[in-house]
Structure 1
Amino acid sequence: MRIEEAEGGFLWRPRRHQQVNTEAEWAKLPPSQPCPTPEWRLQPASSLSLPGSPLSAQQQDSGSGGGGSCFSLPPAPNRASEMPEQSNDYRVVVFGAAGVGKSSLVLRFVRGTFRETYVPTIEDTYRQVICCEKSVCTLQITDTTGSHQFPAMQRLSISKGHAFILVYSVTSKQSLEDLLPIYEQIRQIKGDVQKVPIMLVGNKTDEDQRELQASEGEALANKWNCSFMETSAKNNSNVQELFEELLNLEKRRPVCLQVDGKKAKAPTRAARLRGKCCLM
């Protein structure tokens, strides 16, 4: 079956498998050419729906006469109501130019691993259990793309984010300058950035060829009124401290990486195997 838009509504017609073999041949069929029941019928857009949807009594009567079946489009589902936002999530968004080590920082923090090869990111999300207002909640970390090809995704991430990590590489002065428009967009969307936790992070301190000193990052952080830290995802330097400090900046509600006084950890192998049997 095909449904095609036409002036004043939509055209509905079944596929004619015995007479048409390709899409090109199908497109060449004129609306006036006779075809097996049901024939082509021009229906208003409001009276058209997909097969399998409930038909009204009038539609069933019109289809039973052999002149064709008419359907009406059901109302579009409200996707927002089907997938409600998790109110207890705390969303952290990581921004920065391509290749500064955003994904390496997140993977080092969440999984304790470091990836030597560079793989461009479009957008990845990682989750970890944390303590939030004396209860357990989810830390959701969004690792964004370093490309400027997705401005809509960037705006959406800012609007939904609670805290932000702005990463540059100490080996690239340009990567620090690339953060300026991102910070301005955060300020425009969030308004008073003094109430929003923001960390300016100079990554790749393990590299020898520096173009930026720590004092330059500190100066920009003071100008933006945000916190500053230098890290190395490769050497696992200040990675855990970065996320701890970011959560400590949150003043609207208490959040931390501790759960009941202990660090939130993934289940151990023994815990995962508990209750399972194995074949010896």
Structure 2
Amino acid sequence: MAEYRLVVVGGGGVGKSALTIQFILNHFVQEYDPTIEDSYRKQVVIDDETCLLDVLDTAGQEEYSAMRDQYMRTGQGFALVYSITSRESFEELRAFRNQILRVKDRDQVPMVLVGNKVDLEGSRAVSQEEARELAISFGCAWMETSAKSRVRVEDSFFALVRAVRQDEEASAKPSQRRRKGKAKCAIM
């Protein structure tokens, strides 16, 4: 069974834990309790393939930034979460992405941009258009969710797994092509 290590990142108070717990346990956490780091596992079927998801819910607060390099190094896919009610959380995403790319030493890493708290539409501070444009510039999918109302929560994690699968397939192909082109020799 395939196993995927997914990391949920974003600023403090954007709903990373609420999204993760809603996905894993089908439960909405009302109170805000800043996370240091929590890990959850869940077996799911995505596109007719059973897989095990290891989801790491991370600290958004700046005082825990020293821990980020470690979990970014081990993560395969990243959910970049912001609150649609917080412009600051949206503007922080570029720094999170840049840190991930630096730690992974790659130009592209599987990611999904997740705008959480769509149940608070009346307090929206980030337009769908600018979020869509940022996702295009990052080369990743984007969707809006509500951990409270369970809107597109599962979709966001499944989209991230699909991005990881595409990345794995793309990185496997060049090595297969190289092998086909190599000359073979026989020692007699």
Bin of the TM-score, shorter chain as denominator length:
0.7 to 0.9
What TM-score, normalized by structure 2, do the two folds share?
A: 0.81
- Residues 4 and 161 of structure 2 are in contact (CA less than 8 Å); yes or no, is this contact kept in structure 1? no
1:109 aligns with 2:23: yes
Q: CA deviation at 1:142?
A: 0.4
Selected match of 1:98 from 12, 16, 37: 12
Report the equivalent of 2:112: 199
Report the equivalent of 2:60: 146
Q: CA deviation at 1:193?
A: 4.1
Change (3 A) 1:212 1:93: same
Matched ranges for 1:11-30 at <5 A = none
Report the equivalent of 1:177: 91
Q: CA deviation at 1:89?
A: 3.6
Taking only the aligned residue pairs, the percentage that are identical comes to: 39
Q: CA deviation at 1:241?
A: 0.9
SS of equivalent residue, structure 2 residue 115: strand
- Which amino acid counterpart does residue 24 of structure 2 have in structure 1? V
Report the equivalent of 1:35: none
Q: CA deviation at 1:110?
A: 0.5
Q: CA deviation at 1:131?
A: 5.6
Higher helix share: 2
Matched ranges for 1:252-263 at <5 A = 252=168
How many angstroms apart in 1 are the aligned matches of 2:59 and 2:68? 8
Selected match of 2:33 from 101, 110, 119: 119
1:227 aligns with 2:134: no
Gaps of 5+ in 1: 1-86, 254-280
Matched ranges for 1:1-280 at <5 A = 89-130=3-44, 137-194=51-108, 196-207=109-120, 208-250=122-164, 251=166, 252=168
RMSD: 1.9
Q: CA deviation at 1:135?
A: 7.5
SS of equivalent residue, structure 2 residue 123: coil
How many angstroms apart in 2 are the aligned matches of 1:144 and 1:127? 14
Aligned length: 165
How many angstroms apart in 1 are the aligned matches of 2:162 and 2:34? 30
Q: CA deviation at 1:154?
A: 0.4
Q: CA deviation at 1:187?
A: 1.1
Q: Larger relative CO (CA 8 A, sep 6+): 1 or 2?
A: 2
How many angstroms apart in 2 are the aligned matches of 1:199 and 1:137? 19
Q: CA deviation at 1:151?
A: 2.7
- Which amino acid counterpart does residue 249 of structure 1 have in structure 2? A
How many angstroms apart in 2 are the aligned matches of 1:223 and 1:244? 21
Q: CA deviation at 1:166?
A: 0.5
Runs (4+) of structure 1 exceeding 4 A deviation are: 134-137
- Which amino acid counterpart does residue 198 of structure 1 have in structure 2? M
- Which amino acid counterpart does residue 111 of structure 2 have in structure 1? I
Cα deviation code 1:19-71 (max 9, x no counterpart) = xxxxxxxxxxxxxxxxxxxxxxxxxxxxxxxxxxxxxxxxxxxxxxxxxxxxx
SS of equivalent residue, structure 1 residue 107: helix
What TM-score, normalized by structure 1, do the two folds share?
A: 0.56
Q: CA deviation at 1:137?
A: 4.6
How many angstroms apart in 2 are the aligned matches of 1:89 and 1:156? 19
- Larger CA Rg, structure 1 vs 2: 1
